[in-house]
Each structure stands twice: as structure tokens, then as C-alpha cells.
């Protein structure tokens, strides 16, 4: 799973360079992936018929977790390396913990506070070099846009937990939220872009197919399978590995060069994410070990 999610950032970059419009590429990817999951769940009778209330919940979840999150990511990857996008996307759990403490009135521990500070310090270290010699406005805006997207991802995560408590299966929620989120992105594309299938290179089609089948259907399917077989915390550990896979791919395939301070910033972000979630991971692994030994 870490390998799958670590390669999707580069696949997005390749698709954009091949001629795909950002919103249309993201929308087409998730609309098709969501449609496949919904059709599978309907044919196998794993999904129940959604109510009007469910549809509204799927729309809100899809707008936050797919529409805004990936709309900002795809746009930003036109202006920054895919590995930096992966590192900045790792701030998602920071916002989840922050919003959770605010909305649920849960007190932040010292470790979580340090993790939060490290996370935002890391963001400054990544974006800082773009302002050191000359002002790269688009670089800075792209980084900021991803962070905005991750804040919506965090809200969507908390909201989706509320939806799942009502008895909706994770697979059903994921399928419909991808479907509606993808549809939202396609609407945005026709409003602000001129999407076209013509002029797309072979690599562009391969990247789109990879993102639909491997990144969305298989990757997210594996994610929810791991949640079912282990616990919710264990699958999230991909956030500590995937950015480095993305970084290695950028160095190897794209021959990107990075400012050392920015790379340090990436490590600082990951350290902050770990501190924010270390207590959850320890508790989950302890429970898993006890259940196995018993």
C-alpha cells in the first residue's frame, strides 16, 4: 500500500505533463473509480440503496475528501515537484488531530503540541527556500493551496467518521464519495478549463489508467481491507513511508534537484505527524499484539 500511494504523486505529475487538465484529470479518475466501486457493491448486493440523507452526506464527504483535496493537489503539482506535494500532504493528520481536539474538546497532549509545532515548522522549511534568493510566487501559492486542501481533508475525515457510525460501510462511503467528488471536479473543469481527450500522449493515458485502477480502486480497497483486518491506525502508517518513495522516484526518474533545507523540512513534518499520532499507534499495536498472543 505504501508503494501504491507513494507512486501516485509521480503518476499525477506525469499525467499533467502529458497534457491532462488538472481538474478534468482528477475528476475523470475519481468518477470512473467511484463508478466501478459502486457498480461492484450494487451487483454483489453489498450496498444498500442510499437515502436522501445518505446522498447529502456522500456529497459533503466527496467535496471535502476528493473534490477540494485532490483539486488543489492536482493544480499545485503543475508548479512543485511531486515529492514535495507528498510531503505537504502528510500534514493531513496534523489537521485531523487539531480539528478533532477543537470539535470534540479533547485536550492536546504535550507530545501532540510538539508534533503540531514541528509540522508547521516543517512547512516553513519546505516553502522557505523558494523565498530565499528570489520570490517564486507560484511555488509558494502551490504549497499553500495543498495545505488548504489538507485542512478540508481533515474536516472530511472527521465528518466521515460520523457517517460511518450510522452503519454505512467504509467501501460504500468511499465509492460514493469518489463518484460525487469526481463529478464535482468535472463540473469545475468545464467551468474553468477546456478539457479535451485529444493531444494526450501515451504516457498520459497510462498514468490515468494507473491512477484509476491501482491508485484509487486497488489502493483504497486495500486501505479499507487493512482497516477491517487490523485497525484504523495501522493503515495510516503509509504516511510515514510514501513521501520518501515519492522523493526517491523524483530523484531517479525526474532528476529533480532539491534545496537541502526543504528536504530537512520534509523530515520535520513526518516527525511532527508521528508525535501527533504516536499514542494512537502504540495503543493499536499493543491491542493487536495482545489479540494475537491470546
Query: What span, in angstroms and rounded, lies between the C-alpha atoms of 193 and 29?
Result: 16
pLDDT of the residue at 177? 94
Query: What span, in angstroms and rounded, lies between the C-alpha atoms of 19 and 11?
Result: 13
- Per-residue pLDDT of 21-31, as tens digits, reads 999 999 999 99
269 neighbors 86 (Cβ within 8 angstroms):
no
pTM above 0.95, yes or no: no
Query: Rounded to the nearest 10 degrees, what angle do helices 69-76 and 82-89 cross at?
Result: 150
Helices (H), 63-215: 69-76, 82-89, 92-103, 110-127, 129-132, 137-164, 170-192, 202-210
pLDDT of the residue at 133? 47
Q: Which of 169, 91, 96 is nearest to 127 (CA)?
A: 91
Report how far apart the first and last C-alpha atoms of the chain are (Å, whole number): 28
Q: Which of 1, 68, 6, 4 is nearest to 270 (CA)?
A: 6
Q: Which residues of the chain have pLDDT under 50?
A: 133-134, 292-294
3 neighbors 244 (Cβ within 8 angstroms):
no
Taking residue 113's Cβ as centre, other Cβ atoms within 10 Å add up to 13
Taking residue 124's Cβ as centre, other Cβ atoms within 10 Å add up to 13
pLDDT of the residue at 135? 53
Q: Any idea where the domains of the chain sit in the sequence? A: 2-293
Q: Which of 273, 283, 230, 264 is nearest to 118 (CA)?
A: 273
User: Could you tell me how far CA 206 lies from the centroid of its own chain?
Assistant: 21
pLDDT of the residue at 134? 47
- Per-residue pLDDT of 119-164, as tens digits, reads 888 877 876 665 554 457 888 899 899 999 999 988 888 888 888 8
Q: Is 278 exposed, middle or buried (0-12, 13-18, 19+ CB in 10 A)?
A: middle
SS3 91: coil
Cell 494512537 appears where?
280
Cell 482497516 appears where?
227
127 neighbors 294 (Cβ within 8 angstroms):
no
Amino acid at each position: 500500500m505504501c508503494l501504491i500511494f507513494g507512486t501516485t504523486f509521480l503518476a499525477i505529475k506525469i499525467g499533467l505533463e502529458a497534457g491532462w487538465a488538472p481538474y478534468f484529470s482528477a475528476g475523470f479518475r475519481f468518477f470512473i473509480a467511484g463508478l466501478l466501486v459502486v457498480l461492484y457493491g450494487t451487483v454483489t448486493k453489498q450496498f444498500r440503496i442510499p437515502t436522501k440523507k445518505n446522498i447529502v452526506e456522500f456529497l459533503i464527504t466527496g467535496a471535502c475528501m476528493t473534490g477540494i483535496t485532490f483539486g488543489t493537489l492536482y493544480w499545485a503539482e503543475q508548479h512543485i515537484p511531486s515529492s514535495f506535494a507528498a510531503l505537504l500532504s502528510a500534514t493531513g493528520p496534523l489537521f485531523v488531530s487539531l480539528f478533532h481536539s477543537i470539535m470534540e474538546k479533547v485536550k492536546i497532549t504535550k507530545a501532540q503540541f510538539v508534533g503540531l509545532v514541528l509540522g508547521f515548522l516543517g512547512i516553513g522549511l519546505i516553502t522557505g527556500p523558494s523565498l530565499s534568493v528570489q520570490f517564486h510566487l507560484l511555488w509558494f501559492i502551490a504549497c499553500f493551496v495543498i495545505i488548504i486542501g489538507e485542512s478540508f481533508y481533515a474536516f472530511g475525515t472527521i465528518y466521515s467518521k460520523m457517517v460511518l457510525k450510522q452503519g454505512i460501510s467504509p467501501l460504500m462511503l468511499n465509492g460514493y464519495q469518489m463518484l460525487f467528488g469526481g463529478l464535482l471536479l468535472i463540473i469545475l473543469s468545464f467551468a474553468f478549463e477546456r478539457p479535451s481527450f485529444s493531444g494526450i500522449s501515451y504516457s498520459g493515458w497510462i498514468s490515468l489508467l494507473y491512477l484509476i485502477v491501482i491508485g484509487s480502486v486497488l489502493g483504497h480497497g486495500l486501505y479499507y481491507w487493512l482497516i477491517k483486518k487490523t485497525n484504523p491506525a495501522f493503515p495510516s502508517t503509509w504516511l510515514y513511508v510514501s513521501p520518501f518513495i515519492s522523493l526517491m522516484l523524483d530523484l531517479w526518474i525526474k532528476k529533480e534537484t532539491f534545496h537541502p533545507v526543504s528536504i530537512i523540512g520534509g523530515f520535520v513534518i513526518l516527525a511532527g505527524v508521528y508525535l501527533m499520532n504516536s499514542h494512537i499507534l502504540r495503543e493499536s499495536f499493543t491491542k493487536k499484539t495482545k489479540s494475537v498472543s491470546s
